[in-house]
Structure 1
Amino acid sequence: MQVFDGHNDVLSRLWCAGGDPVQRFARDEGHISAPAARAGGFAGGLFALYSPQARRAFDFRGFRGGTMPLSNPMEQNAALQSVMAEVGIARRLQAAGLIRLCTDVAGIEAAMATGDIAAVLHLEGAECIDPELLVLDALHGMGLRSLGPVWSRPTIWGEGVPFGYDRDGDTGPGLTADGRRLIARCAELGIVVDTSHLTMKGFWEIGDMGLPLVATHSNAWDLCPATRNLTAPQLRAIGATGGMAGLNYATVFLSPEGWKTGRARLDDCLRQLEAMIEGAGEDHVGLGSDFDGAPLPEGMASCADLPALIAAMERAGFGAALIEKLCHGNWLAFLRRVWGA
């Protein structure tokens, strides 16, 4: 079973690690690499362009069992430097034959048919974009087809949610006037708008603008009441608007025990999938691993272990048709609806 995934952070991992990204991706390190993808049936997904405050990987260990406030705002030029470097990494990986950059579903399906990794560029936090939105058009020309206006820090576009527990994502204001201009331009360009990391107010504002509601890597709040997760009304709205919710494998968002200890199991992934399907509907749920950006549950050391998750779905009584939808069918159908090709 091939997996097309809603979110990963391999490009920022490679940028933070330094050295030759082609050599790093070609060897077995991190959650996503060429050998692991071949072993696990990882066929591609949305590859995030993310700007860290410093050139090092984000560490969840600082808030296990507690909270983490919003990060400080980031200067546009600093954010643009890391984003452009990560676009460069993606292009080098493509030149080396390790991934295939895709801008439509036909390209994704062609890559999957030949065993290539289909990579769609996604911007996680739009700090790098200027108020005139010129950088947005430039990135679109480079292949950007998905965008989250914020990560968990404030921007000129809106405010993200802090990482916290025992409360929902109604933590602050939503989109600014500039943020609504950004979203409107994304709609004109056919760029998917991702609400993961956005406050609940911002989530509903995007829905009010008539866009399909998408959370590429968020789970069900009822099973794990973390600020990053989706309440039952949010899940229902995702289904009603023809959107998508992607299961995040991060242990801290899977269960209360995962939040407190950083440890979770594949069974927690299955419970989350069942709750997300109950809320959004089986046509509007997929996988959104957060590979290379989050601690993984037991039995999932990298994308090489995706067959273990699929086997767990089978044991839980998920039928073959549903498993195919969750693994890639729903994402491809959604992207075709947004992109029209």
Structure 2
Amino acid sequence: MTLPTTPLVFDGHNDLLLRLLLGHTTVEQVRNGGGKHHIDLPRATEGGFGGGMFAIFNPDPPGASSSLDNMTDDMALSGLLDPDVALRSTVGQAALLHELAGDGSVIICRTAEEIETALDKPPMAAVLHLEGADSIDPEFRALNVLYALGLRSLGPVWSRKTRWAEGVPFRFPSTGDTGPGLTEDGKRLIRECNRLGIAIDLSHLNEKGMDDVAAITDAPLIATHSNAHAICAHARNLTDRQLDMIAESKGMVGVNFAAAFLRPDGKMRTDFGLDVMLRHFDYLIGKLGENGVGFGSDFDGAMVSREIKDVAGLPKLRQAMLDAGYGAALMTKLCHGNWIDVLCRTWK
């Protein structure tokens, strides 16, 4: 049976830039294939992966407990990163995205219209995203430079603390009610992102921080890669109260493919079926409506179902969605239409 590669997917989150920074793959391998990571251009074409948010993530120093490949069910997180070290990492990853563009693997997009234009081309449509604003200075000079380089989406925190806010720990079972909200600097950051037209990502923010963002922002509330707490009681997932807030703002949530945020038992194991993912899609559509849900895979930053494995496995998920009764119009919305719409309304 031939599996569907359309509608093309625009995805809310991936960590390919970090994989490049750490030397887990190369710019050439992204273009030609052959790496062991989740995303490259040949497999993206095979799977109908049209592009997405390419995250800059600043890792802990070597040996720290919260490295990308050392996550546990209750992981201890490090404190504040050295901002100079974080800035070097941030600039390095932004430069790598531009190298990918120069090599023909991506097209850097700064508007919703550019995403629409680039989506069906062989290079992937790429929006630069900052996952954790560790490298941003209080005067926002780095923010403005990154904006000029294409930054259009920003999460004030990863799961560690920054000068702006506190993130949720990797804890199961738990809610995201784990600490105080935005700092005064954090409130200034939200206002500055609103002024520039940078989307605010709520995915790693704790509950009080999300409440503070909702009270300040004039943009739709967006969680680029989060799931339903009612199904998987992980601190990283969104409670019904939070989903109601997102729905009221006409925002959206990208479904995270990470095992620990999907499985009802919260385990970081890949032996689960696509039906587990569909439960989250169904629940979120029920809470947010058909216009409020999309993909937020966390490819290259998470352990995903072995039934998908990487971007080339996306046709299996599309087929499962079709088999579950998702119609053509809904599929287009979920795969890319909702992302383009919410970013259009956010970036103005």
Same fold (TM over 0.5): yes
- Of 169, 173, 186 in structure 1, the residue corresponding to residue 176 of structure 2 is 169
**1:72 Cα deviation from its structure 2 partner:** 2.1
- Whether the 8 Å CA contact 1:152–1:198 is kept in 2: the answer is yes
SS, match of residue 257 in structure 1: coil
**Percent of aligned pairs with the same amino acid:** 46
Equivalent position amino acid for 1:215 in 2: A
* Corresponding position: 1:259 with 2:259: no
Aligned equivalents of 1:110 and 1:85: distance in 2?
Answer: 27
Matched residue, 1:11:
17
How much is the aligned-residue C-alpha RMSD, in angstroms? 1.7
- Whether the 8 Å CA contact 1:257–1:264 is kept in 2: the answer is no
Label 1:55 to 1:31 Cα distance change in 2 as closer, same or farther (>3 A). Answer: farther
Residues 21-60 of structure 1 correspond to what in structure 2 (within 5 A)?
A: 21-29=27-35, 30-54=37-61, 58-59=67-68
- Structure with bigger helix share is 1
Equivalent position amino acid for 1:254 in 2: L
Deviation per CA, 1:201-255: give whole Å up to 9, x if none.
0011111113321110000000000000000111121111011100000000002
Equivalent position amino acid for 1:116 in 2: P
Equivalent position amino acid for 2:199 in 1: V
**1:19 Cα deviation from its structure 2 partner:** 7.1
**1:17 Cα deviation from its structure 2 partner:** 1.5
- Whether the 8 Å CA contact 1:159–1:199 is kept in 2: the answer is yes
- Whether the 8 Å CA contact 1:60–1:295 is kept in 2: the answer is no
**1:131 Cα deviation from its structure 2 partner:** 1.0
Residues 179-328 of structure 1 correspond to what in structure 2 (within 5 A)?
A: 179-210=186-217, 211-259=219-267, 261-328=269-336
**1:166 Cα deviation from its structure 2 partner:** 1.6
Aligned equivalents of 1:194 and 1:62: distance in 2?
Answer: 21
**1:338 Cα deviation from its structure 2 partner:** 1.1
Structure 1: where are the runs of 5+ without partners?
none
- Whether the 8 Å CA contact 2:13–2:297 is kept in 1: the answer is yes
Aligned equivalents of 1:25 and 1:176: distance in 2?
Answer: 41
Aligned equivalents of 2:168 and 2:18: distance in 1?
Answer: 21
Aligned equivalents of 2:347 and 2:68: distance in 1?
Answer: 34
| TM-score (structure 1 length as normaliser) | 0.95
Matched residue, 1:332:
340
Deviation per CA, 1:171-209: give whole Å up to 9, x if none.
001110000001100000000000111000001111111
Aligned equivalents of 2:70 and 2:318: distance in 1?
Answer: 28
**1:26 Cα deviation from its structure 2 partner:** 2.6
Aligned equivalents of 2:32 and 2:115: distance in 1?
Answer: 21
Equivalent position amino acid for 2:276 in 1: D
SS, match of residue 216 in structure 1: strand
Label 1:20 to 1:5 Cα distance change in 2 as closer, same or farther (>3 A). Answer: closer
Aligned equivalents of 2:32 and 2:164: distance in 1?
Answer: 37
Equivalent position amino acid for 1:295 in 2: M
Matched residue, 2:3:
none
Structure 2: where are the runs of 5+ without partners?
1-5
SS, match of residue 225 in structure 2: coil
**1:264 Cα deviation from its structure 2 partner:** 2.4
Label 1:28 to 1:258 Cα distance change in 2 as closer, same or farther (>3 A). Answer: farther
* Residues 88-97 or 47-56, more deviating: 47-56
Deviation per CA, 1:29-74: give whole Å up to 9, x if none.
21111111010010011100110013699445541xx311332210
| TM-score (structure 2 length as normaliser) | 0.93
Aligned equivalents of 1:106 and 1:239: distance in 2?
Answer: 24
Equivalent position amino acid for 2:104 in 1: G
* Residues 29-38 or 15-24, more deviating: 15-24
Matched residue, 1:152:
159
**1:262 Cα deviation from its structure 2 partner:** 5.0
- Of 94, 100, 105 in structure 2, the residue corresponding to residue 93 of structure 1 is 100
SS, match of residue 231 in structure 2: coil
Equivalent position amino acid for 1:263 in 2: D
Equivalent residue pairs, number: 338
**1:116 Cα deviation from its structure 2 partner:** 2.5
Label 1:55 to 1:332 Cα distance change in 2 as closer, same or farther (>3 A). Answer: farther
- Whether the 8 Å CA contact 1:166–1:225 is kept in 2: the answer is yes
